Structure 1
Amino acid sequence: MYPLEVLQRGIFREGDIEILLENSPVKVPSDIIRLIDKYAHIWEEQGFYDEFRIGSVREIILTRRGSSEDPFVILKLQPTGYFHFLATNANLNLRKDFYEKDRVILQTRAKQLKDPFNPIRDFANPLSVNTIVLCDKGTKTIIVKRSSRTCFRDGLWYPSAAETFSIPHDTSEDGRPSIFSTIKRGVHEEIGIIQEDITDYYISGLFFDWEVYDYKFSAIVDTALSCEDIIGRWKLLAKDSKYEGISVNIVPFEVKTLLNAQGWAPELRASFIMGLVSKYGPARIKRELEKLIL
């Protein structure tokens, strides 16, 4: 089963997505707290720390505003800690920190989820964004191979930047929580793109990851830069201790690239496809896929 389920697709710009952040943190159940206490030393040795910065998805509302036919997304979030994420979503299927009996506790709890629009209240349910950065006049993109320092899916190819919505860093100019601030922070921290480099940016879809039980936006950032310029910045940025990639590659931003997509993480495949559809339209992408398959 393909692990990512499309919850909504389209072109979303600032003003089309609203994040409502509650002040009170998630109330973590006692059995999950015991798991955190049990495995915290492992995560600390791996270089993780329990910063209270994750926006835990509590509710998703898809609606429309006024007479507009365009979708409008409302996300209700609560603050929670990073170890809450490691003790729930991350160790559900992908990470292998837990003894099997503890993993069974999580997997039993996860069976409660029937509909991604009604998140499991006991889990951390983080919100992230996977960004395709376009270069060489929008014809190509940069993909990044994950290092072993990442939380999961290490060794796989990922989109140009992948960031989790972070409290209190990701806010708009008027101080409201903003996933678009996450996009701009991510491309700056991971591949050195600054605001002045960006010619356009938008969100192309919202996904649910059934392996990690978290919520992921896909996004496009268009630039006036060459791909070689971006790789030069990445080489400088790779010296940063926060960096999570071990190598980069330039690939054409076109349907044919998907035929040779070896070692791609699900996030890259989904974001790549949704990016193509948002940029060129579903009819054109469908025709090109049919030509390649036939």
Structure 2
Amino acid sequence: MQELIESASSGPWGILVGAAFGVVASVLFEERLLTIRRGTARRARMLRSKLRRGEPDRSDLFALGPITTSMRLVEGDGTQVIDEQRIRIMVTPRAVEVPEEIRPWIDEVAAEQEARRQRGEPAFWNGPRYAVEGLSIGRSPIAEHPEICLRLLESDYYTFLATQQLDRPLPGGGTLRERYLDGADPATAPAFLCSSFGANVALITADEQLIFARRGSGVATRPGLWGPSANEALSRHLDSDGRSAPELYRLMRRGICEELAIEPDEYLLELLAFFVDTEQQQWGSAFVGSLRSVTAAEVLARRSRGVPDKWESEELRMVPFQIGPVLEFLAAEHRAGTLTSYLPAVVHLALVHRFGRRAVERAAAKMPRSG
């Protein structure tokens, strides 16, 4: 038998057998390649179908273990600080253009807030704000440090409140979300839908506790949810002296002082990222701050003696600033549905900045998916 096999492999029969195997292998390879192509084409068709139906592609939205969000990071990953001197803000002294069919909504907001004031109920004033016209990102030569240019127009708080009604039916049909946002890049949304820019900070006490703040019931957006240590919106009245553009580091320092009664010389502040929340079309920035000598107990004691904007947060929670405890807190509150959309990313950036991306991602991969 062995002689027959050797004879077949070395004679004409060997050539035929080899050719047959070659044909079979070629057919199998072509079938596999065709399957891959069909799968790729099918995924592409599904994506195009989603875009046509207005369904957002969530592949670029921030996720951490089992936590998914509506937030898209547009610059920064926690490993590099965005220097204060490399941020340029350009303000065009022109009011943001609002479609005529939206103007009655702004009047409704004004009438509602005035009616609340007349009844002696909490109400919002129409303060001057900015609208984000665009954000440009570049890199410095050689060192490739991030360089940011934020372009702003003039807006106001009532325009912000009116345009937050993204799912309200429009007189001409559809909604603001369907007409301007679904299937589009959120970074290119019309400026009138971006009448807010927020600064958010993960603040770490001198005794290594991360401060979480539960938003008050009287705030306009996301009341009662857990957010970062402090959050502040850019104001034309408070953050610009009329002769120069606002500064983001100064904005964040104002927020920390107003919400926590902590002065600028008591901490180190570093900007890590820019993002846009696609659910409510709100732009924001993420900072990390380290208190030099103020402990968690002292932060709580200061708050008990009063802070200018105490109403914006109804509770502070201190969590040890270690990867495990912080991720456990996020996972538990995520299951309870009590996290703001931007909090996981702000905290993740702070963890990466301290402990490194690899360590944080290893721990996040072990977070329970359910339960």
- Deviation, 1:101, is 5.6
Structure 1, unmatched stretches of 5+, are: none
1:92 aligns with 2:92: no
Identify which of 265, 289, 297 aligns with 1:196: 265
Q: Distance in 2 between matches of 1:197 and 1:241?
A: 19
Q: Structure 1 residues 58 and 112, CA, compared in 2 at 3 Å: closer, same or farther? A: farther
- Deviation, 1:234, is 1.6
Identify the residue that residue 245 of structure 1 maps to in structure 2: 313
8 Å contact 1:171–1:177 — kept in the other structure? Answer: yes
Task: Write out per-residue CA displacement over residues 182-220 of structure 1, whole angstroms, 9 at most, x where no aligned residue.
Answer: 11000000011112212x111111111011101111111
Q: Secondary structure at the match of 1:11?
A: coil
Task: Write out per-residue CA displacement over residues 67-111 of structure 1, whole angstroms, 9 at most, x where no aligned residue.
Answer: 3312211110011010110011x2226xxxx6x567953223333
Identify the residue that residue 206 of structure 1 maps to in structure 2: 274
Task: Write out per-residue CA displacement over residues 221-262 of structure 1, whole angstroms, 9 at most, x where no aligned residue.
Answer: 111210111111122235x46631111111122222222321
1:63 aligns with 2:121: no
TM-score, normalising length: structure 1: 0.87
Q: Distance in 2 between matches of 1:78 and 1:147?
A: 29
Identify the residue that residue 106 of structure 1 maps to in structure 2: 176
- Deviation, 1:272, is 0.4
Q: Distance in 2 between matches of 1:48 and 1:244?
A: 13
Q: Distance in 1 between matches of 2:177 and 2:97?
A: 20
Identify the residue that residue 236 of structure 1 maps to in structure 2: 305
Identify which of 46, 52, 74 aligns with 1:7: 74
Task: Write out per-residue CA displacement over residues 4-24 of structure 1, whole angstroms, 9 at most, x where no aligned residue.
Answer: 111111421211221111112
Structure (1 or 2) with the greater helix fraction? 2
Q: Distance in 2 between matches of 1:65 and 1:282?
A: 23
- Deviation, 1:268, is 1.7
Q: Secondary structure at the match of 1:47?
A: coil
8 Å contact 1:157–1:268 — kept in the other structure? Answer: yes
8 Å contact 2:181–2:189 — kept in the other structure? Answer: no
Identify which of 244, 247, 250 aligns with 1:181: 250
TM-score, normalising length: structure 2: 0.70
Structure (1 or 2) with the greater strand fraction? 1
User: Which structure has the greater CA radius of gyration?
Assistant: 2
1:24 aligns with 2:94: yes
Q: Distance in 1 between matches of 2:366 and 2:194?
A: 42
Q: Secondary structure at the match of 1:220?
A: strand
Identify the residue that residue 117 of structure 1 maps to in structure 2: 187
8 Å contact 2:69–2:342 — kept in the other structure? Answer: no
Q: Distance in 2 between matches of 1:260 and 1:132?
A: 14
Identify which of 34, 57, 79 aligns with 2:104: 34
Task: Write out per-residue CA displacement over residues 151-210 of structure 1, whole angstroms, 9 at most, x where no aligned residue.
Answer: 1111111111000111142259x9442111111000000011112212x11111111101
8 Å contact 1:112–1:120 — kept in the other structure? Answer: no
Identify the residue that residue 127 of structure 2 maps to in structure 1: 51
Q: Secondary structure at the match of 1:24?
A: strand
Count residues with an aligned counterpart.
283
Task: Determine what percentage of the aligned residue pairs are the same residue.
Answer: 23
Q: Distance in 1 between matches of 2:360 and 2:144?
A: 23
Identify which of 343, 350, 366 aligns with 1:268: 343
8 Å contact 1:18–1:74 — kept in the other structure? Answer: yes
Query: 1:76 is aligned with what amino acid?
Result: R
Q: Distance in 1 between matches of 2:296 and 2:365?
A: 29
What is the alpha-carbon root mean square deviation over aligned residues?
A: 2.5
Q: Structure 1 residues 87 and 113, CA, compared in 2 at 3 Å: closer, same or farther? A: farther
Identify the residue that residue 355 of structure 2 maps to in structure 1: 280
Identify the residue that residue 133 of structure 1 maps to in structure 2: 203
Q: Distance in 1 between matches of 2:85 and 2:190?
A: 27
